[in-house]
Amino acid sequence: MTGHTAGPTARLHAALAAATEDSLVVDLSGVADRCAALRRELPGVAIRFAMKACPLDDVLSCLAARGVGVDAASPGEIAQALHAGVPAGRIHYGNTVKSDSDIAAAHRLGVRDFATDSLEDVRALAVHAPGSRVFCRLATSGQGALWGLSDKFGCGPDDAVRIMETARGLGLTPSGLSLHVGSQQMTADAYQRAFEQLGDVLTALRRRGITPDHVNLGGGLPALGYLDRHGMPLDPPLDKIFTVLREGIRALRREHGDELAFLVEPGRHLVADHGALRAHVARLALRRTPQGEPLHWLYLSCGKFSGLYEMDAVQYPLVFPTHPGAPTVPAVVAGPTCDSDDAYSHEEGLVQVPENLASGDPVWVLSCGAYATSYMTRGFNGFAPPRPVCTGGPASAGGLGEGPER
């Protein structure tokens, strides 16, 4: 977090200014605009929203109206996506961790595309989702990302070939490969390495008579509004990332057939910068460290357990709308609960906050539209979570549908 004053969009600004209580405000028009921009960068690539990033019905419906599908991780998410208007044919079960009952439930709901990364899971899919399509998730290093995701998911190239051969032998369709380069990926090199890995495995599969029809490039596309440890805006090389993605897609199609389809699974890239928390000041207090040094603490009404769970890894811009240009003091920022982890500071520098903040003053926490609702508790320590509010819903799909998938 920081006192950086880069403001939200006009739509989001107006909604935050109008809020009189703690709220998570999501600008649906901004989400739709980001989706349209992604399509311009990656034409012909299908989009499956990683709904765990912002599982609000209005967000799902907004994207569904634009032809976006869903990457779901449980039968509960699948059911919610269907209710929001996402057709079953545009939903895949992207979680490689699935119980027998969850596989069967997803199959009953109409899902026919399942991620996998183990022989045990493939055997369970053959029993509880017979005839389905499976895509095998490859492991990546996660290097260059804020969250690497390199331990729990994915398998190596040799295991991937065995898994796909087993799937074929059990009557499943070995339909694709997938990977994930890590959440908030800050390098283009990670995507370059991913394409090299995909090419090797596709070649090995072809030698065994298996020709997948699609490649799922996963998530990882970064949000743009976060700040670095010194309170300066992060600068993810998004243009370079998109260039590598387009070039990699062309290269794989040259080698493995122009009919090879591609998907991406953006989550935070679509929603992070178009959501903000309207919180308020609980107290600005001057305390002393155990060494006797004076230190300001800014206690907010929202913290790690009410939408800002990622505050250890991500810095969000803070705006103090009633104190523009006021003198500031360095402070530790903390949430309201009786949990010592519900606080945030960095050795490189504390957050600059207005010195005359008073209890009840509004505070806007920007670029926190991703994972805020997912990580909220139901009321830890009795503090109610902020109320989600969606604003700026587009009137129509406006021709933004994804159309036929390659």
DSSP 142-199: -TTEEE---SSS-B-HHHHHHHHHHHHHTT-EEEEEE----EEE--SHHHHHHHHHHH
For 106, 160, 177, the CA distances from 208, given in Å and listed in that order, are 30, 12, 15
Q: Which of 62, 338, 368, 390 is catalytic?
A: 338
Return the structure tokens found at 5. 């004053």
Q: Is 155 known to be catalytic?
A: no
The upper half-sphere exposure of residue 131, i.e. CA atoms within 13 Å in the direction of its Cβ, equals 4
Give yes or no for residue 344 having a pLDDT over 80.
no
Domain boundaries, the chain: 28-271, 273-391
pLDDT of residue 146: 83
Q: Which architecture does CATH list for 28-271? A: Alpha-Beta Barrel (3.20)
Which residue is associated with the tokens 């009137």? 395
Confidence of residue 345 (pLDDT cuts 50, 70, 90): low
Measure the CA–CA gap between 404 and 406, rounded to whole angstroms. 7
Measure the CA–CA gap between 271 and 274, rounded to whole angstroms. 5
101-150 pLDDT per residue, tens = 999 999 999 999 999 999 999 999 999 999 999 999 999 998 988 887 77
pLDDT of residue 6: 40
Q: Tell me the mean pLDDT in the region 367-373.
A: 94
164-205 pLDDT per residue, tens = 999 999 999 999 999 999 999 999 999 999 999 999 999 999
For domain 273-391, give the CATH number. Answer: 2.40.37.10
313-323 pLDDT per residue, tens = 778 899 999 99
pLDDT of residue 116: 98
Task: Tell me whether domains 28-271 and 273-391 share a fold.
Answer: no
pTM for this structure? 0.92
Determine what percent of the chain is predicted with pLDDT higher than 70. 94
Q: Tell me the mean pLDDT in the region 272-276.
A: 96
How many CB atoms neighbour CB 170 within 10 A?
Answer: 16
Q: Which helix (H) or strand (E) covers residue 35, if one does? A: helix 28-41
Q: Which helix (H) or strand (E) covers residue 91, if one does? A: strand 91-93
Closest CA to 225 of 104, 293, 299, 317: 317
25-66 pLDDT per residue, tens = 999 999 999 999 999 999 999 999 999 999 999 999 999 999
Bridge partners, residue 46, by sequence: 263
